[in-house]
Protein backbone atom coordinates (compact mmCIF):
# COMPACT_ATOMS: atom_id res chain seq x y z
CA UNK A 1 0.00 0.00 0.00
CA UNK A 2 2.74 2.47 0.96
CA UNK A 3 4.55 1.95 -2.32
CA UNK A 4 1.25 2.51 -4.16
CA UNK A 5 0.85 5.87 -2.41
CA UNK A 6 4.41 6.79 -3.34
CA UNK A 7 3.99 5.72 -6.98
CA UNK A 8 0.62 7.45 -7.26
CA UNK A 9 2.02 10.62 -5.67
CA UNK A 10 4.98 10.72 -8.02
CA UNK A 11 2.69 10.07 -11.00
CA UNK A 12 0.48 13.00 -9.93
CA UNK A 13 3.55 15.24 -9.66
CA UNK A 14 4.71 14.21 -13.13
CA UNK A 15 1.23 14.96 -14.45
CA UNK A 16 1.45 18.45 -12.97
CA UNK A 17 -0.99 17.92 -10.10
CA UNK A 18 1.26 19.17 -7.30
CA UNK A 19 -1.49 19.41 -4.67
CA UNK A 20 -2.70 15.83 -5.10
CA UNK A 21 0.85 14.50 -5.46
CA UNK A 22 1.89 16.23 -2.27
CA UNK A 23 -1.11 14.89 -0.39
CA UNK A 24 -0.38 11.32 -1.51
CA UNK A 25 3.31 11.63 -0.64
CA UNK A 26 2.49 13.04 2.81
CA UNK A 27 0.20 10.03 3.35
CA UNK A 28 2.99 7.70 2.20
CA UNK A 29 5.43 9.32 4.62
CA UNK A 30 2.99 8.93 7.50
CA UNK A 31 2.77 5.22 6.74
CA UNK A 32 6.54 4.79 6.22
CA UNK A 33 8.16 7.58 8.26
CA UNK A 34 11.77 6.59 7.60
CA UNK A 35 11.51 5.89 3.88
CA UNK A 36 14.17 8.00 2.16
CA UNK A 37 12.60 7.60 -1.27
CA UNK A 38 9.27 8.91 0.02
CA UNK A 39 10.99 11.79 1.83
CA UNK A 40 12.75 12.72 -1.40
CA UNK A 41 9.48 12.60 -3.36
CA UNK A 42 7.72 14.76 -0.79
CA UNK A 43 10.63 17.21 -0.83
CA UNK A 44 10.18 17.53 -4.60
CA UNK A 45 6.45 18.16 -4.12
CA UNK A 46 7.09 20.75 -1.43
CA UNK A 47 9.59 22.53 -3.64
CA UNK A 48 7.08 22.60 -6.49
CA UNK A 49 4.48 23.97 -4.07
CA UNK A 50 6.81 26.83 -3.16
CA UNK A 51 7.75 25.50 0.26
CA UNK A 52 11.50 25.54 -0.36
CA UNK A 53 12.56 25.75 3.29
CA UNK A 54 10.55 22.69 4.30
CA UNK A 55 11.73 20.85 1.19
CA UNK A 56 15.38 21.47 2.07
CA UNK A 57 14.78 20.39 5.68
CA UNK A 58 13.31 17.12 4.41
CA UNK A 59 16.27 16.64 2.03
CA UNK A 60 18.64 17.20 4.98
CA UNK A 61 16.78 14.57 6.98
CA UNK A 62 16.77 12.10 4.06
CA UNK A 63 20.48 12.67 3.51
CA UNK A 64 21.21 12.09 7.21
CA UNK A 65 19.35 8.75 7.05
CA UNK A 66 21.00 7.61 3.80
CA UNK A 67 24.10 9.71 3.03
CA UNK A 68 25.13 7.68 -0.02
CA UNK A 69 21.70 7.82 -1.70
CA UNK A 70 22.31 9.91 -4.85
CA UNK A 71 18.99 11.59 -5.59
CA UNK A 72 18.25 13.34 -2.28
CA UNK A 73 21.94 14.23 -1.89
CA UNK A 74 22.11 15.76 -5.36
CA UNK A 75 18.98 17.83 -4.78
CA UNK A 76 20.28 18.95 -1.40
CA UNK A 77 23.68 19.78 -2.90
CA UNK A 78 22.07 21.89 -5.63
CA UNK A 79 20.09 23.79 -3.02
CA UNK A 80 23.31 24.43 -1.09
CA UNK A 81 25.14 25.52 -4.25
CA UNK A 82 22.34 27.98 -5.01
CA UNK A 83 22.91 29.50 -1.55
CA UNK A 84 26.67 29.68 -2.06
CA UNK A 85 27.39 26.89 0.42
CA UNK A 86 29.90 25.13 -1.84
CA UNK A 87 31.89 23.48 0.97
CA UNK A 88 28.74 21.99 2.50
CA UNK A 89 27.63 20.74 -0.94
CA UNK A 90 31.02 19.04 -1.28
CA UNK A 91 30.47 17.31 2.09
CA UNK A 92 27.01 16.15 1.07
CA UNK A 93 28.24 14.68 -2.21
CA UNK A 94 31.37 12.94 -0.86
CA UNK A 95 29.58 9.82 0.46
CA UNK A 96 27.53 9.55 -2.74
CA UNK A 97 30.63 9.56 -4.91
CA UNK A 98 32.38 7.12 -2.59
CA UNK A 99 29.50 4.69 -3.14
CA UNK A 100 28.68 5.64 -6.75
CA UNK A 101 31.84 7.11 -8.33
CA UNK A 102 30.34 7.29 -11.81
CA UNK A 103 27.05 9.00 -10.90
CA UNK A 104 26.73 11.75 -13.55
CA UNK A 105 24.74 14.34 -11.62
CA UNK A 106 26.76 13.86 -8.42
CA UNK A 107 29.97 14.37 -10.40
CA UNK A 108 28.64 17.51 -12.08
CA UNK A 109 27.48 19.00 -8.79
CA UNK A 110 30.78 18.10 -7.13
CA UNK A 111 32.55 19.92 -9.96
CA UNK A 112 30.34 22.94 -9.31
CA UNK A 113 31.15 22.78 -5.60
CA UNK A 114 34.89 22.65 -6.31
CA UNK A 115 34.95 25.13 -9.19
CA UNK A 116 36.05 28.15 -7.15
CA UNK A 117 38.52 26.42 -4.83
CA UNK A 118 40.00 23.56 -6.85
CA UNK A 119 39.43 23.88 -10.62
CA UNK A 120 41.68 20.91 -11.44
CA UNK A 121 39.69 18.54 -9.20
CA UNK A 122 36.49 20.08 -10.55
CA UNK A 123 37.54 19.24 -14.10
CA UNK A 124 38.28 15.66 -13.06
CA UNK A 125 34.67 15.38 -11.88
CA UNK A 126 33.31 17.00 -15.05
CA UNK A 127 35.23 14.40 -17.06
CA UNK A 128 33.23 11.67 -15.30
CA UNK A 129 29.95 12.92 -16.77
CA UNK A 130 29.51 10.47 -19.65
CA UNK A 131 28.88 11.62 -23.19
CA UNK A 132 25.66 9.59 -23.24
CA UNK A 133 24.29 11.36 -20.13
CA UNK A 134 21.06 13.33 -20.22
CA UNK A 135 21.41 16.07 -22.84
CA UNK A 136 20.90 18.98 -20.42
CA UNK A 137 23.32 17.48 -17.90
CA UNK A 138 25.91 16.99 -20.62
CA UNK A 139 25.50 20.59 -21.82
CA UNK A 140 25.94 21.88 -18.27
CA UNK A 141 29.08 19.76 -17.87
CA UNK A 142 30.53 21.01 -21.15
CA UNK A 143 29.82 24.64 -20.25
CA UNK A 144 31.40 24.22 -16.82
CA UNK A 145 34.43 22.51 -18.35
CA UNK A 146 34.94 25.45 -20.71
CA UNK A 147 34.94 27.88 -17.79
CA UNK A 148 37.21 25.64 -15.73
CA UNK A 149 39.63 25.24 -18.65
CA UNK A 150 40.52 28.91 -18.23
CA UNK A 151 41.61 28.27 -14.62
CA UNK A 152 43.06 24.76 -14.61
CA UNK A 153 45.05 22.54 -16.95
CA UNK A 154 43.20 19.75 -18.78
CA UNK A 155 42.54 16.58 -16.84
pLDDT, one tens digit per residue, over 4-25 is 999 999 999 999 999 999 999 9
* CB-based contacts of 16, cutoff 8 Å, min separation 6: none
Q: Could you read off the pLDDT of 55-112 as tens digits, one per residue?
A: 999 999 999 999 999 999 999 999 999 999 999 999 999 999 999 999 999 999 999 9
Q: How far apart are the C-alpha atoms of 125 and 105, rounded to whole Å?
A: 10
Residue 8: the pLDDT is 97
Q: How far apart are the C-alpha atoms of 107 and 126, rounded to whole Å?
A: 6
- How high does pLDDT run on average in the chain? 94
DSSP codes joined into one string, 10-68: HHHHHTT-HHHHHHHHHHHHHHSTT-HHHHHHHHHHHHHTT-HHHHHHHHHHHHHH-TT
pTM: 0.91
* CB-based contacts of 35, cutoff 8 Å, min separation 6: 2, 6, 28, 29
Amino acid sequence: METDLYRDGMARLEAGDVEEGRWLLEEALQKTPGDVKVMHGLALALDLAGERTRAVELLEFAHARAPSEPEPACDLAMSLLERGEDARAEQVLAPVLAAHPGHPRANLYMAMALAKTDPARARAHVAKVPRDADEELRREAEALDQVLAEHAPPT
